[in-house]
């Protein structure tokens, strides 16, 4: 069954908008795990606009206590700055089960593209080696249709995460077949190279089932913005349970 990792960035963003401790990121995390989430994700950016280094420490301990996976996302090229020690240092402290490398810049509202391995590969290689030395499974963010996806294995990654934003847009427009076929092809190319496949970005209750049915052997989906948005209407517990039901149904097909 595909694992659901709940991205808690939007909980942290809401907290930071007012200051203080509410909503409580750790309480939200416990609610998600109690409802059946398989793991937790955060993407602490250098500008600390949502998840922060102190959140990473708290969630890492919670995941250890619950024996679930913790996934930290981030740009491995972003240098340290006050309040942000750098992605490698965060992983050295937290020892997450997985680190997902994403080529996002400070000016981006959200991650919106994958790595260009021909351009970035040699710079990524030693960093991937360092993350692996910490005991982290390494996943790298890739665009669907990237013809060089197999290079991620050569660089030392264990997995790729398919950027599903374009698929979600196509699904919303009522024309997802081409996007689904491209995602399935990219997944198979990655798997043929020995890589496992994750997926994430703009997946929601409406489009997740179709994606998991069309794309083979997706190991994990990381879902944050849509899940937290949906939870505003029906509650966090009910929303996580709904996602759990979707992946269980897809696994049974």
Mark whether 73 is an active-site residue. Answer: yes
Phi, psi of 190, rounded to the nearest 5 degrees: -65, -45
**C-alpha distances out from residue 167 to 100, 173, 176, Å:** 20, 10, 6
Q: Which of 38, 158, 201, 230 is catalytic?
A: 201
Mark whether 169 is an active-site residue. Answer: no
Mark whether 201 is an active-site residue. Answer: yes
Q: Which of 43, 50, 158, 161 is catalytic?
A: 43
Count other Cβ atoms within 10 Å, centred on residue 106: 11
- Angstrom distance (rounded) from CA 92 to CA 156: 18
Q: Which of 69, 73, 161, 220 is catalytic?
A: 73
Give the active site residues.
Answer: 43, 73, 201
């Amino acid at each position: 069954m595909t694992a659901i990792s709940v991205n808690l960035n939007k909980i942290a963003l809401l907290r930071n908008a007012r200051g203080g401790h509410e909503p409580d990121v750790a309480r939200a995390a416990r609610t998600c795990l109690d409802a059946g989430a398989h793991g937790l994700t955060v993407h602490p950016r250098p500008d600390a606009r949502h998840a922060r280094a102190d959140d990473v420490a708290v969630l890492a301990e919670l995941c250890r206590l619950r024996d679930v996976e913790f996934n930290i996302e981030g740009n491995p090229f972003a240098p340290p700055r006050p309040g942000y020690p750098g992605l490698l240092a965060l992983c050295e402290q937290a020892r997450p089960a997985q680190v997902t490398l994403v080529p996002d810049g400070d000016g981006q509202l959200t991650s919106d593209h994958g790595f260009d391995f021909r351009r970035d590969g040699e710079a990524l290689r030693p960093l991937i080696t360092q993350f692996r030395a910490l005991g982290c499974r390494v996943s790298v963010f890739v665009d669907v249709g990237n013809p060089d996806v197999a290079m991620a294995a050569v660089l030392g990654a264990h997995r790729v995460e398919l950027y599903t934003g374009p698929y979600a847009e196509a699904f919303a427009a009522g024309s997802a077949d081409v996007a689904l076929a491209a995602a399935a092809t990219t997944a198979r190319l990655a798997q043929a190279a020995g890589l496992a496949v994750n997926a994430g970005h703009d997946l929601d209750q409406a489009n997740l089932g179709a994606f998991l049915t069309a794309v083979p052997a997706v190991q994990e989906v990381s879902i944050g913005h849509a899940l937290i948005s949906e939870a505003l209407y029906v509650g966090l517990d009910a929303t996580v349970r709904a996602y759990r039901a979707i992946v269980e149904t897809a696994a049974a097909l």
